[in-house]
Amino acid sequence: MNVGAVKPTYREIPVGLIDEPALPSRSSMDEQQLDDLVASIRELGFISTIVLKEKGDRYEVIAGHRRTIAARRADVAVLPAFIYPSDTEYLEAIQQTENTRREELNPADEAIWFAQLLEKYPEGGTDGVAARVKERRGYVEDRLALVRGDDVVFAALAENKIRVGVAQQLNRCTQPQFRRMFLDNAIRNGATVAIVSGWIAEWKRDLEPATRDVFAAGGAPALAPPTIDPFFTCAVCRSTHQPEQMEPLQVHRYCVQANLTPALDLWQRRSDYLKKPRTQAEAVELINQLVDQWPGITDADSSPA
């Protein structure tokens, strides 16, 4: 039996007989949007139809979870609904369509939902989940990969701090300390997928080969990147410590060569240049420094002829 072969019945169901979805596709909802929906229902009434499935003497929400919550808050007594028998297959497809049509589903919520479906129907594998939600297998696998990726990256995605493409790029980085650094920069700077992809490509080219053995399974991660690689070396102080505090800067290569490199070189060799004293105290301090560095300059035989 499938959704296409079964015709739902239309009925008005008391709100008290409607249960939450067994596998809700949303872990959280936008409270402001929910409040707006409640206000709309109070003003105009409940003007849509939800989808339920029979569950004994009660009913389970298949599509319209958010609207059902809003209706309860608006003190609506009964809801118009299309009712499917409990043994109808692929009701998840209705749930997926409902979510993507009415309110964009957070990719993290979608990933969790797909993982729950895979756990509930393991015999069908990824293909089975894809068939149930009427999505491409690659789409489902991409979402499942998010669940299996970095927990911190996944949490940032769930909180809408980054986009799904950024999360996918970050998970390409195999070393946690650099992945977290990239994540922090992406959040603070609002980095696009293209920018983060560039970071990861540069990291894979310049740093990953040099540190692969250090971060191999069983090995203790280094506290800082190897000094042989300039990718995570501060351009000002030349230190490789605390890479998580470093930020990528957008600058033309020719600007670096023409302006920044000479300026930084001059700043790093600043101790080689004599600064003319402006006061007597500065002059005395300079004399003392020179005497400390070259004690012989005070000897009589070292005086100029």
pLDDT tens across 140-195, in order?
Answer: 899 889 888 888 898 888 888 899 999 999 999 988 888 888 998 888 888 889 98
Give the model confidence (pLDDT) of 247-284 as tens digits: 777 777 767 777 777 787 777 777 666 677 888 888 88
**Cα–Cα distance, 127 to 114 (Å, whole number):** 11
User: Mind listing the pLDDT tens digit for each residue in 21-35?
Assistant: 776 655 556 788 788
SS3 131: helix
Whole-angstrom distance, CA of residue 166 vs CA of residue 108: 13
Contact indicator for 47, 76 with CB cutoff of 8 Å: no
Distances (CA, A) of 99 to 28, 75, 123, 175, 290: 13, 24, 25, 35, 76
- Among left, alpha and beta (phi > 0; psi -120 to 50; other), residue 78 is beta
- Please tell me the predicted confidence (pLDDT) of residue 106: 75
Taking 80 as the threshold, does the pLDDT of residue 2 lie above it? Answer: no
Residue 92 has what pLDDT? 58
The pLDDT > 90 percentage for the chain reads 6
Q: Where are the domains of the chain?
A: 1-105, 106-148, 251-297
The pLDDT, as a whole number, for residue 96 is 55
Per residue, the 3-state secondary structure of 200-256, as one string, reads: HHHHHHHCHHHHCCCCCCCCCCCCCCCCCCCCCCCCCCCCCCCHHHCCCCCCCHHHH
The reported pTM is 0.48
Q: Which of 224, 153, 207, 148 is nearest to 184 (CA)?
A: 153
3-state secondary structure (DSSP) of residue 289: helix
Predicted local confidence at residue 225, as pLDDT:
41
Average pLDDT, the chain: 76
Q: Which CATH class is domain 1-105?
A: alpha beta
Tell me how far apart the alpha carbons of residues 17 and 59 are, in angstroms, rounded to a whole number.
6
pLDDT tens digits, 37-64: 898 888 878 877 778 888 888 998 877 7
| 3-state DSSP assignment of residue 30 | coil
> How far is residue 201 CA from its own chain's centroid?
18
